[in-house]
Amino acid sequence: MAKLTEKIGYGFGDMSSSMFWKVFSYYLPFFYSNVFGLTLVDAGLLVLVTRIWDAVSDPMMGVVADRTSTRWGKYRPYLLFVAPLFSIAGILLFTTPDWGYGAKLIYAYVTYILMMTVYTGINVPYGAMLGVMTDDSQEKTVFSSFRMFFAYGGSFIALAAWEPIVNAFKGLGQTTASAWQHAMIVVAALCFVLFIACFALTRERVKTLSTVSVGSDLKALLSNRPWWLLIGAALCFNLFSTVRGATVAYYFADIIGFGKTLDSTLFSFHFSLLFYAGLFLSVGEVSNMVGVAITVPLARRLGKKSLFICVNAALIVLSICFFFIPVTPAGFWLMLLFQVLISILTGIMSPLVWSMYADVSDYAEHRFHTASTGLIFSSSSMAQKFGGAIGGAAVLWLLSACGYTPRTDEQVAAQAVISQPESALLCLRYLMSFIPAAVALLAIVVCYFYPLTTERVNEINRQLKLSRNKSGNE
């Protein structure tokens, strides 16, 4: 049984990754189109191309990590050695050079590809560690829950603080572009410290050895039916989150507007709270943490597959209802309530999916006799990034097709109100409601055919323990 400090240490790793990932997912499209100065079409193509490359590179990293052997283990060393590059790449990504449009576009491609490559180099081994820190399926769910609890905690910090930090640097006389860069420097420094702490506090306990060729590993992976189904379901989940998340900044700028407040009276005390994108997103991150906290007991009671389906069914209902919320002071509170409920559900999904990947890894070892934990877990990162690539690009392209008008740097700084065409406003409302609902429905259809039930996983774990003990005694 692992110590609490190790579970916390493991959580620090995704706390770092998520601080970067959420800023990328929620603010990078807005940054490219409204601060960096790219057109919506170019920004959409950039997001799609770079994240597809990033997704394709994940299995490559998984193969390399599976064949790494050091005194620190297979996967932990990458936390130590890639962490500095991770922080530097993030800073370069949010740097706006004073160049012509063509040169800036090339710079954006180079820095985004660099960032996503480095992200793969540290995040794939980090994810694969879950498969070798314990051989108990339930404890893997516990580790996964700690991971996601801290991930959402990091996301909350990054999203709640991002706009205030940017505004603080603006208050010091910096331009909007310079303020965004310096805000990322603050986040990057914290991320570096968290990855080093993750390395120091964790250990690899399960010894696995890849004794087959890369070709055999890939052949086994492509023959792994549960892997294919979980990839599809996870892609849908990440697409759901990315579409909503990437739309929020636009939704608040053009549907909600600037300067709106949440007003209420409690025990004769009246308070007013600014209703802005960062508040909406950060409240969602706290709610995600609640979802993570209840994942383990729910998974034990319902089983992982059944829980996955139930959560997505609830997401469909809530997403559709979000469309009908009025843009009024009372409606703002209702939007916040729905964000809380939706985020609790997505908070359940994250550790659940990672734990299911650990089960797929055990299935692969049992069925194909291949220790390809890194390759299996890299596929989860691949699905996440494909979902992000498709979702992020789709948001930008749909807005462009519907006639959305981007703001200039001066308009962003002044929080200027722009008259958008009705088609663009309707598109934003669909991106927060019916489109995510359709994606959640597709996730249910895919997961329905997923074969690794609780009983099947328990039997696989029992047989694996026998075979590992036998190998250890030989």
185 pLDDT band, cuts 50/70/90, is very high
**Rounded to whole angstroms, how far apart are CA atoms 388 and 24?**
10
Average confidence (pLDDT) over 450-456: 90
Percent of the chain exceeding pLDDT 90 equals 38
Inter-CA distances, 135 with 75, 129, 357, Å: 16, 11, 13
The position carrying tokens 């291949």 is: 370
State residue 253's pLDDT score: 85
213 pLDDT band, cuts 50/70/90, is low
**Rounded to whole angstroms, how far apart are CA atoms 237 and 231?**
10
DSSP character at residue 32: I
Give the H/E segment covering residue 270. Answer: strand 269-274
Average confidence (pLDDT) over 200-227: 76
- Max distance between CA atoms of the chain, in angstroms, equals 75
**Rounded to whole angstroms, how far apart are CA atoms 393 and 343?**
22
State residue 183's pLDDT score: 93
Average confidence (pLDDT) over 309-333: 94
Judged on CB neighbours under 10 Å (0-12, 13-18, 19+), 361 is buried
State residue 401's pLDDT score: 92
CB of 315 closer than 8 Å to CB of 443: no
For 151-162, how does the pLDDT look when each residue is reduced to its tens digit (9 = 90+)? 878 888 887 788
State residue 412's pLDDT score: 66
Inter-CA distances, 472 with 47, 66, 206, 207, 369, Å: 47, 20, 11, 10, 15
For 250-290, how does the pLDDT look when each residue is reduced to its tens digit (9 = 90+)? 898 889 887 787 777 656 666 677 787 878 888 888 898 89
Strand 261-266 with 269-274, pairing: antiparallel
CB of 122 closer than 8 Å to CB of 56: no
Paired residues of 264 in beta bridges: 271
- CA 96 to chain CA centroid, nearest Å: 24
Break the chain into its structural domains and give their ranges.
Answer: 4-466
- Is the pLDDT at 450 greater than 80? The verdict is yes
468 pLDDT band, cuts 50/70/90, is low
414 pLDDT band, cuts 50/70/90, is low
Alpha carbons within 13 A on the beta-carbon side of 97: 14
State residue 23's pLDDT score: 85
CB of 455 closer than 8 Å to CB of 137: no
Most confidently modeled range among 234-238, 411-415, 463-467: 234-238
Mean pLDDT estimate for the chain: 85
95 pLDDT band, cuts 50/70/90, is very high
State residue 470's pLDDT score: 63
- Is the pLDDT at 379 greater than 80? The verdict is no
CB of 54 closer than 8 Å to CB of 119: yes
Q: Which among 408, 397, 392, 414 has a CA at the least distance from the CA of 36?
A: 408
- Is the pLDDT at 309 greater than 80? The verdict is yes
pTM attached to this predicted model? 0.71
Q: In sequence order, which residues have a C-beta less than 8 Å from that of residue 412 and are 6 or more positions away?
A: 34, 35, 176
Fold of 4-466: Growth Hormone; Chain: A; (1.20.1250)
**Rounded to whole angstroms, how far apart are CA atoms 51 and 56?**
8
Query: Would the CA dihedral through 50, 56, 57, 61 be positive or negative?
Result: positive
Average confidence (pLDDT) over 317-325: 96
- Is the pLDDT at 474 greater than 60? The verdict is no
Least confident of 72-81, 297-306, 349-358, 381-390: 381-390
Least confident of 213-227, 293-307, 419-433: 213-227
384 pLDDT band, cuts 50/70/90, is low
Q: In sequence order, which residues have a C-beta less than 8 Å from that of residue 45 and are 6 or more positions away?
A: 393
Average confidence (pLDDT) over 14-23: 87
Inter-CA distances, 249 with 32, 428, 454, Å: 13, 10, 40
Q: Which amino acid is at 332?
A: F
